[in-house]
Structure 1
Amino acid sequence: MGVLRPFLQSEDARTQAEFYIEALGGELVSVITFGQATGTDFSHKDKVMHLCVHVAGGNAIFMADSLVPYTPDSGIALNLTFKSVEEARDAFTKLAVGGHISESLELQPFGMYYGELIDRYGVSWMIAAEA
C-alpha cells in the first residue's frame, strides 16, 4: 500500500508553509536548501529544495521553491475532510484569507459540508466535513 503526499512548487515555500501551519495547525518538520543538499555555492543555494510540514492532524505536505517561472493552479486540488463542521469552517476561513472562495462551505445534498477555495498562493482546496 502506498502513501500519497502532495508536493507543491512555490515562489516562497517557507512563507507558504508558515501560512498552512497557521491556517491548519501543525508544525514544520524539515527544511533543506539547495546549498545544504548539494554543497555548492550557486545563486539558488538559499532556495528550498525540500520542505515538509505536518498539518491538520499529521497530514504531510512537501514543498520546494520553484527554480523556473511559477504558475499557480495546475488543475489539482487538495481535499481535506474533517470530522466536525467547526474544524472545517475554521480551516476554510483561514485558508481563504487573501484568496478566493469558489463555493461556500455549506451542507450539500449528498449529506456532507463542502466548500472550495483558492488560497493566496493559487492552491485549490476542497474542504469537507461530516454532517
Structure 2
Amino acid sequence: MQVQPYLNFGGRCEEALSFYRTALGAEVETLMRFRESPDEPPPGAIPPGWDDKVMHASMRIGESVVMASDGGCSEEAGFAGFSLTLSVADPAEAERRFAALADGGRVQMPLAETFFAASFGMVTDRFGVQWMVIAMKPG
C-alpha cells in the first residue's frame, strides 16, 4: 500500500512540472492532456482552451512519485493543511533545494540546524505548495 500526493495546479501544471524538474530534479513519467482522453467528455466539462492542459501527470522526485493535474478545470489551486517533506542527504543539498523552492515563493522558517536535524526549514513555493526540507543529523 502507498499514499501518494496528487496536486491540482488550477491551470499551471505544466509550469509546475518544469519548475520541479529544475528545482528538484523531478522526472516526468506520465503526462496526458485533456485532448488525449479516449473518452468524450460531457458537454461543458472542459472549458474552451483547456484541451492542451494537463489532465494527469506523474513525476518522480528521488524515490517518490507525486501526481499532478490542472485539476477540475478551475483556475484556482489551494494547498492548505499539509506540507510535502523533502528529505535530502546533507545540509549543502538542503540549502540548494530550499533556495530553488523559495525562488518566487515565501520562506516560513529559514534553514537552520535544530535539535532533530542538521538542517531544517519550511518554504511555500511559487505555486502555494508548502515544503519542509530536512537533512538529518548523521548517526
TM above 0.5, yes or no, is yes
Q: Name the SS of the counterpart of 1:95 in structure 2.
A: helix
Shift of 1:39: 4.6
Where do residues 101-120 of structure 1 align in structure 2 (5 Å cutoff)?
101-120=107-126
Sequence identity of aligned pairs in percent?
A: 28
Structure 2 residue identity aligned to 1:101 = V
Greater shift after overlay, 69-78 or 25-34? 69-78
Give the alignment's TM-score, normalised by structure 2.
Answer: 0.84
Structure index of larger Rg: 2
Structure 1 residue identity aligned to 2:15 = T
Aligned to 1:21: 21
Larger strand proportion of the pair: 1
Equivalences, count:
129
Give the alignment's TM-score, normalised by structure 1.
Answer: 0.88
Alignment of 1:46 onto 2:40: no
- Aligned-partner Cα distance in 1 for 2:12–2:77: 13
**Ranges in structure 1 where 5+ consecutive residues have no aligned partner:** none
RMSD between superposed Cα atoms in Å: 1.7
Shift of 1:125: 0.3
Is the alpha carbon distance of 1:61 and 1:111 closer, same or farther for their aligned partners in structure 2, counting shifts above 3 Å? closer
Aligned to 1:86: 92
**Ranges in structure 2 where 5+ consecutive residues have no aligned partner:** none
Alignment of 1:61 onto 2:66: yes
Q: Name the SS of the counterpart of 1:4 in structure 2.
A: coil
Aligned to 1:9: 8
Q: Name the SS of the counterpart of 2:2 in structure 1.
A: coil
